Structure 1
Amino acid sequence: MLAALLFILLCVQPGHGQTCTEGFAYDRRARQCIDVDECRTLPDVCRGDMRCVNQNGGYLCIPRSLYNQPYRPAGPLSVEPSYPRVRSTAQCLLGYTAAEDGSCNDIDECETNSHHCNPTQVCINTLGGYTCSCTEGYWLIGGQCQDIDECRYGYCQQLCANVPGSYSCSCNPGFILNPDSRTCQDVDECEDEPCSHGCFNTYGSFMCNCDEGFELASDGTTCIDLDECSFSEFLCQHRCVNTPGSFSCICPPGYYVYEDGRSCEDSNECDTGNNTCTTAQVCFNFQGGYTCLDPLQCHPPYIEVSDNQCMCSAENPACRDKPFTILYRHMDLSSGRSVPADIFQMQATTRYPGAFYIFQIKSGNDGREFYMRQTSNVSATLVLSRPIKGPKEVVLDLEMVTVNNVINFRGSSIIRLTIFVSEHPF
């Protein structure tokens, strides 16, 4: 009696996030469901004189006599088998078809479209059956092939875009995709010389820097000149001139730029010979200029006693109420000099017993910028009490009065001091 049992189980087995129909197990390497050989994995699957024959998604229990011998037609069976009846003309197992030479050939269910795979699945023919699987980029969930979101698993180093059945990697600005289509490498933007001056490559970007005297513009790549002169009015002593990437200091006529590049130093035209004085004149240098002094001329009743002194003799009646001597002196003064300031010293050269001396400004102090401060019995100092703005020429008559009550004597001497006030405060 021919007996065969066919078991089809409908429960679902879990497998690392994948589910396969009963009779199949998920292969993580192949990423698909493969047939389970129940004849090997289940103990005593067929009882009695039945032999287990594995099938795609199940198994058959076939009598050993039928399994070992060719099949011969037999009379009608009195007992109805519990498995699908095999046609009497069939000599092959399920999944095979008989050839003319009597051999059994595998039926390609995928080609004949006799499989039962879901439309989302791919049919893979096997010996005696077939397997339903999914294409790359999909996995089997609940009998359906669903897209794998590769972006969730960090397939891309930077940016990832999931597409049906696959994914696409891209990079942030400043990077390019490597040949592996997954990782990114930094782009050296400085090779394209994007900066007008200097370029410094950074990871994923770059930075521009500027030469000294320039600053980075708002576009981050070009450099514009810094106007150093606008930073401070004290950058140069006189005037600041901005130049591309730097600045320069200039001085007024009569001065030159000092070694520090900022200060102004007086040019001594008398020493350099850069003056217009004649041989009869004396060149006198002052801050920012010079003047030519004419030879001394003493007006009567004065007579010349030296190149800068006139004297009126006591024997001359015309000299009775006049200063005994007039001494001509010259000095320079910076415009706006801070006050108070001692600027000139006056002292008696001849001392008489019982005499005392009075020092005063006799003339020329119309603006009251000066006063005399007596420092001892025989000396006094000329003090600048108010700032004077130049250019200006001031002539002061500084008088020293000699008084001797013992011999009833009173006389005076004059220092005619010419002060050349410069135009600038340096």
Structure 2
Amino acid sequence: MDECATNAHRCTNSSTCINMMGWYYCQCKHGYEGPVPDNNLGTSCVDIDECEESRHTCHSSAQCVNKDGGFECSCPRESVDCRYSCVYEDREVAHGITVQSQFNPCMSCMCKKGVISCEQPKCDCTKSSSDACCPQCDSRHACRHQELNDVLFMHGERWSYQCQTCECLFGEIDCWELKCPPLICSNPIHSPGDCCPHCGDLCSLGNYSSNFGSNCTLKSVMYQSGSEFLDPEDPCVTCKCKVPFCAELVSNTACCVHR
């Protein structure tokens, strides 16, 4: 199940949902830091005060004003010498000017009223030839799956294999142990064939009272733990309430179209 694609995650507006095999995690957006784990396996990212921590790019003549998820530079109306240029990588960049990063020549950075914003090039492998900034477009940097010879991964792509996360890096495969999700139960279950342990149905465990998280709520409708039901917005999706989450199970075969 892809919790991120199905919006079944608990990430906040200050974080981005990153899907993993069997679980997900929340990554703080730019301008926030954390995350701070909570009992719902979500995260709470807090705003970075770039002004207080001197992490802004305002010119010394301008005033840094912290905002939620960022900052802005302010010049008093009566000021004559105040500038909206950016101080970036020990150099001054005028407002409206785009420069390359000294540490990453593939990254272009633009100054807008004292705030610098950088982005990587958008690589369209169908239209542009491969270069140093778009190695994923070079078929010479592709990796072949460890067992499926017909499956190729381009540079930068990731996949799961034998309880490991693998990445293709310039034609070489680098794998590391698959990260498992944090658990809120004291006695997790590690089923044969599973890469990660998991919690059973909390309502069926003797350590929990019957009223502890015994229901799921989906789109304002409450369901009992263990019950199965159709997604009210998609009749082709069957759901099951498995405390503490409602998880998508399978597609209803009656909705499949023979091709």
Question: What is the TM-score when the length of structure 1 is the normalising length?
Answer: 0.16
Question: What is the TM-score when the length of structure 2 is the normalising length?
Answer: 0.23
